Structures are given as C-alpha cells and as structure tokens.
C-alpha cells in the first residue's frame, strides 16, 4: 500500500510540475510572439515609409529563396531565437525585382553571394532572367563575394560589375554529379533486392543492386551533366564576352587558383575589400557628400514596390475578379502522406478539382518540382489536369529543378510546358522493388519466418522469402502495363506517335534544353513566362487578373499564431499522443531521409533513376 501511494503521489507531482512548466513556457513563447509581431510590424512600416531616393535593392543569396510558399505561418517561427525566419518565394523575388526596375527610388541592385549557396540551379535561372529584364531599365547590377561558387558566379555574370575579395576565391572546376551505391552494405547485411523495371535507362533501384553506374545510366548522366555545363558556359561567356572554349580550358587546367587568376582571365572586374565595395556603391548612387556613409540598402524581403506609382506585377491586380491559379506540386509523389512535404495524389487532385469548379479562375499554372514517385498517384493527378483542359481552362506547366517520371506524367497533358534549361525531366519509365531479408535476418539476428497461405502468392512481397518465378512475372506484367499506359498519356498529351515516345522513354532523363529539342516540352522559360502565357491563353490583359496561390501563403498575424500555438508547443515538447511529435522520432526521421533510397516504397513507382548530388 505504501508503495502504491508513493508511486501515486510521485506521478501526481510530476504532472503538476509538467503543467506548471508547460504554462510558463507557453506564457514565455506567447509574450515573445507578441513582441516579434509588434517589432516586425513596426520594421515593415518603417521600411515602407523611409525608402529614400538613390536606394539600392540588396539581394542576399545566403537567405534561401523557396519555390513553394509555406502555408502555415507558425512553421516559420524559430522557437530558439523567438523570431520569424524570412520566407521569400521565387514569385516574391521575381516580382520585387520587376517592381524595382520601375521604381525611381531604386538606382540599382547589389547581389551579395554567400560561400554556401542554398539556391538551386533552376531558381538561379529564374532570378537571372528577372535580372536580365531589370538591366534593360538602365539601372546597375553589381555583385560581391568572398568566394564565388560556380552557381553564384553564373548568377553574378548578369551584372555590370563582379567584385571579389582579394583573399577570396572563384571556383571553376566543372560540373560533377555523384550517385551513392549501397549494394556492398546490403551484401554484408545479407539483404537481397529484386529490381523489376521497364526501360533500360530506368536506373531507380540500381544503387541497391550494383556498386557502380550501369552503362546506360553512365550514358544518360554524362549527357545531362554536359548539357547543363555547356549551357552554363554559353551563358557566362556571352555575358562576360569570353569564348566558351576558353572557359572549358580554364576548368580543364584548373587555371583559376587565386583571385588574381580570376582578375587576369577577366572573370571578375576588380578585387575589393568590403569597405572598398561600400565606396564603390556610394559612387554608383552619386553619394559624394559623405562617401564614408553606408549606402542606402533595402533588403529584398522588405521591399514592396512604390505605392506612389502602382503598376501591374507578377501578382496581378488583387482587385480583379479574374483569377489565375498557381498550384505548387513539390516533393515526392505519394499515395498518402503529408501534403506540406510531399505531393499526395488525391489531395492535389482535389485541389485541382476545386479550381476546375471555381468560375472565377480562368487559367492554371502548375509549378512542378518533383522527381516522381507513385505511378497511381501520378495517374490520379494527370486525370484532373486533363479535366481542367476539357473545362476550357488553360493549363500551363512550369518546371523547376525536377519534373521527372511521375512529375512528367502529371505534366504531359498540359496545354503548354515550360522548363528551365537545367530542369531534369522525362524519365518515362516505371519500376518495382522487392526486398528479401531472409538471409540477413537469420544469419545476424536469428529471425526466421513461417506461416500458412491459401494460395502460393498469398504472401507475395513477404520480406522473409524470395520471389517465385511466377510472382516475379506477375510483377513484371504490372510494370509493363503501367509503362505502356505512361507511353499512351505522353503520346496523347504531346501529340507524338507511340514509337517516337518509346524512343525517348525507357526511363531516360533529359535536361530542359534536351526535352525541348525532342518535343517533350514546348520551350524553356520561367514561372513569369508561364503566368504571362496563362493570362494570354485565357484572354486576360496584364492588369485584368489576380493571382491565387495553392497552398496560399500565410503571413504571421496574431490570430493565426494564437490559433495554432497550443498544439505546436505540445508537439515540440513531445507531449502529444503521436510518436512523430516527439523529438527523438523527429531526429530519426531526418536521419532516415538520408537512407530513403534503401527503403522501397509500395506499389509501382515512376521515379528518377538516381538521386543526384550536383556539385556547382
């Protein structure tokens, strides 16, 4: 009895202490949120009212520019710093650059490049196109870096002047792509994997059964890597008035070893320290009264255009009743999962269905950034895209870094497809994976499996026994059927013969430039181009539409934060009923993400044939 009461009162005390701690923590965070909202609001108002003439738009590339907006404002709150992380979407960035070109208070743009660039090649392409248009206004663009990566240098070359720290560096070694292989590890663990596929280039799963690139994958990987590198060299050479062959020679010889090499080879214009850069900026804005003053820099996140001279921009006219929907399809394509992190087939299809039935939406831009995934989910989304077209609402696809396999499946029936030159797309092929743990489980863990069944294939896919020949043929027939269906939807959507599609398929990946050449896409272009084309196809002028984004970005306000604060705190403290809310499983989830290629997903997959680690 005494033991019972000791346990009871100890548990009661623990609950009381936890309750008090939770209350105090909630109060602390709540007060912080109020403070942050107040200060951010005042900063925003200050930024709007104090933008002076001869200001410079400051684009700091160390802050990531995201493709898809976060639809939960609380997800942007940093609990450790009690502040909001800035969220600048690609749409925001391009729109603000466009507005700055028309703003008489903005004299130019200063691009600040970080040592580690958190921005993808496709996003850099979009920014470079927007900056190209900005230069046509006659305003200056300059860039500065302590160390230029090849990606940041590609963006910087659109500017009038490129400056480098005298003790910094400029990386120019060429483009590489690497694939990790796990067969050796699986062999040691006694794990066997059956890869059942259609398409000799469909190498998804090859890292589980090989220890190096197959001939087919080496061929396609070489092709897309060289296509991307050649594009970068052509663009940089044109901007810097250099010969593309010279740029290739510099990479071959590792000729850019020091900042002075970069200056000698005319890759940069001057070597400057940051205080000298300040003086240069002041000279550009004609601030000669006191050159020691800091130039007037307005961060990209704080700039919202000139209210004195309103003009149409990417977001259109918010007062218009004519809507153009931008639908973001980002991540792996799955049958079930978190729609904030993945593309869930039925969830995205439902969103497209709502848009189709909305009489105020006249066109759709589908922004695809996906390496693929579930073939079934891809088919479900494809069906809704087709129904949108049949409802006479134009559908324009804008491809980001990836629109491959399932990502291409959902795109191929659009009215028009635009890709970035470096987009990885195509990969028209399917596969299935079956894992056999029998040997490893028995040898290393002493685990065996036995049971009964009413038919030979009743436990097909049981990871503790190999596939029988009949089961393997059964899965192969399913893979072949899905592949033939894939060919059919591409053939119909792209108005190509089945034989033509088949020669381009087989799981082969193409860059955006190559895909356009082979008519898998219509042209290279940006999200801005896609919006403009959608408006044209819907018969709308530049000032006669309003942009609606799905998911809709949510700005941090008192009401939105208060509504979700309690549940978020419970989840972050690990007090919720779901195991995924606890810190331990969250950390484990992040670690497992690195091993995702090892974990086959259910059903027949239409995914990229490899996970690329681009070095740019």
> What is the Cα–Cα distance from 361 to 237, expressed in whole angstroms?
42
- Active-site option among 120, 152, 330, 405: 405
- Active-site option among 68, 139, 202, 393: 202
* SS3 category, 288: coil
Length reported for the chain: 616
Q: What radius of gyration do the chain's Cα atoms show?
A: 27
Cis peptide bond prior to 512, omega within 30° of 0: no
- Scored b (16 or more CB within 10 A) or e, 89-110 reads bbbbbbbbbbbbbbbebbbbbb
Query: Is the Cα torsion angle 269, 270, 274, 278 positive or negative in sign?
Result: negative
Tokens of 324: 């153009």
DSSP string, 190-210: T-EEEEEEESTT--TTHHHH-
Residue 188 among the catalytic residues:
no
Tokens of 548: 């609606």
> What is the Cα–Cα distance from 228 to 171, expressed in whole angstroms?
17
Where does residue 78 rank: exposed (0-12), middle (13-18), buried (19+ CB within 10 A)? exposed
* DSSP β-bridge partners for residue 396: 365, 416
Where does residue 385 rank: exposed (0-12), middle (13-18), buried (19+ CB within 10 A)? buried
**Among the listed residues 610, 7, 67, the one whose alpha carbon sits nearest the alpha carbon of residue 331:** 67
Query: Is the Cα torsion angle 222, 201, 489, 69 positive or negative in sign?
Result: negative
Tokens of 302: 């704080």
Residue 564 among the catalytic residues:
no
Angstrom CA distances, 480 to 186, 197, 427, 518, stand at 27, 8, 15, 24
* SS3 category, 539: coil
- For the chain, the maximum distance between any two Cα atoms, rounded to a whole number of angstroms, is 91
Kind and range of the H or E element at 434?
A: strand 430-436
Query: Is the Cα torsion angle 367, 372, 374, 378 positive or negative in sign?
Result: positive
Kind and range of the H or E element at 372?
A: strand 372-374
> 341 with 513: CB under 8 angstroms?
no
Contacts of 196 (CB under 8 A, 6+ apart): 431, 432, 433, 434, 472, 475, 476, 479
> 141 with 111: CB under 8 angstroms?
yes
46-51 own/partner pairs: CB under 8 Å, 24+ apart: 47/298, 47/302, 47/303, 48/304, 48/307, 51/105, 51/298, 51/303
> What is the Cα–Cα distance from 472 to 194, expressed in whole angstroms?
9
List active site positions.
Answer: 202, 405
């Amino acid at each position: 009895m005494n033991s019972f009461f000791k346990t009871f009162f100890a548990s009661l005390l623990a609950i009381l202490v936890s309750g008090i701690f939770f209350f105090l923590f909630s109060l602390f965070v709540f007060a912080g949120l109020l403070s942050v909202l107040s200060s951010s609001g005042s900063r925003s108002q200050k930024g709007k009212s104090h933008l002076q003439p001869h200001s410079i738009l400051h684009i700091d590339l160390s802050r990531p520019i995201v493709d898809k907006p976060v639809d939960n404002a609380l997800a942007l709150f940093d609990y450790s710093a009690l502040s909001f992380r800035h969220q600048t979407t690609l749409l925001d960035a391009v729109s603000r650059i466009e507005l700055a070109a028309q703003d008489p208070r903005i004299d130019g743009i200063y691009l600040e490049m970080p040592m580690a660039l958190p921005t993808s090649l496709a996003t850099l392409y979009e920014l470079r196109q927007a900056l190209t248009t900005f230069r046509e206004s006659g305003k200056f663009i300059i860039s500065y870096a302590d160390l230029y990566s090849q990606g940041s240098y590609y963006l910087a070359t659109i500017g009038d002047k490129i400056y480098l720290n005298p003790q910094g560096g400029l990386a120019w070694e060429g483009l590489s792509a690497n694939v990790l292989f796990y067969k050796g590890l699986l062999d040691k663990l006694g794990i066997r994997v059956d890869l059942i596929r259609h398409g000799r280039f469909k190498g998804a799963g090859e890292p589980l059964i090989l220890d190096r690139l197959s001939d087919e994958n080496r061929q396609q990987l070489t092709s897309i890597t060289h296509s991307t590198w050649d594009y970068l060299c052509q663009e940089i050479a044109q901007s810097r008035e250099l010969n593309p062959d010279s740029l290739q020679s510099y990479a071959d010889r590792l000729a850019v070893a020091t900042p002075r090499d970069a200056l000698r080879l005319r890759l940069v214009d001057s070597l400057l320290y940051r205080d000298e850069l300040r003086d240069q900026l002041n000279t550009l804005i004609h601030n000669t009264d006191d050159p020691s003053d800091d130039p007037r820099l307005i961060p990209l996140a704080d700039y919202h255009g000139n209210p004195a001279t309103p003009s149409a921009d990417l977001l259109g006219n918010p007062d218009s009743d004519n809507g153009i929907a931008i639908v973001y399809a980002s991540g792996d394509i799955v049958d079930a999962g978190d729609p904030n992190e993945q593309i869930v087939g039925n969830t995205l299809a439902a969103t497209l269905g709502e848009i189709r039935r909305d009489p105020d939406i006249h066109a759709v831009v589908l922004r695809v950034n996906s390496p693929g995934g579930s073939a079934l989910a891809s088919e479900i989304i494809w069906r809704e895209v087709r129904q949108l077209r049949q409802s006479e609402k134009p559908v324009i696809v804008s491809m980001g870094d990836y629109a491959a396999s399932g990502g291409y499946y959902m795109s191929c029936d659009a009215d028009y497809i635009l890709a970035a030159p470096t987009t990885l797309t195509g990969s028209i092929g399917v596969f299935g994976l079956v894992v056999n743990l029998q040997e490893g489980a028995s040898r290393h863990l002493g685990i065996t499996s036995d049971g009964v069944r009413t038919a030979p294939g009743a436990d097909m896919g049981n990871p503790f026994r190999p596939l029988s020949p009949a089961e393997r043929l059964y899965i192969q027939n399913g893979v072949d059927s899905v592949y033939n269906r894939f060919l059919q939807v591409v053939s119909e959507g792209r108005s190509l013969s089945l034989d033509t599609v088949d020669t381009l398929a087989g799981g082969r990946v193409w860059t955006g430039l190559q895909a356009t050449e082979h008519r898998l896409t219509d042209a290279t272009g940006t999200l801005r181009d896609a919006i403009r084309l959608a408006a044209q196809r819907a018969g709308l002028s530049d000032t006669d539409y309003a942009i609606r984004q799905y998911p809709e970005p949510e700005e941090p306000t008192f009401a939105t934060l208060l509504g979700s604060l309690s549940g978020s705190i419970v989840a972050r403290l690990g007090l919720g009923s779901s195991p995924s809310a606890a810190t331990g499983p969250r950390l484990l989830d992040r670690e497992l993400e690195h091993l995702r290629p090892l974990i086959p997903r259910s059903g027949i997959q239409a995914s990229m044939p490899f996970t690329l680690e681009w070095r740019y």
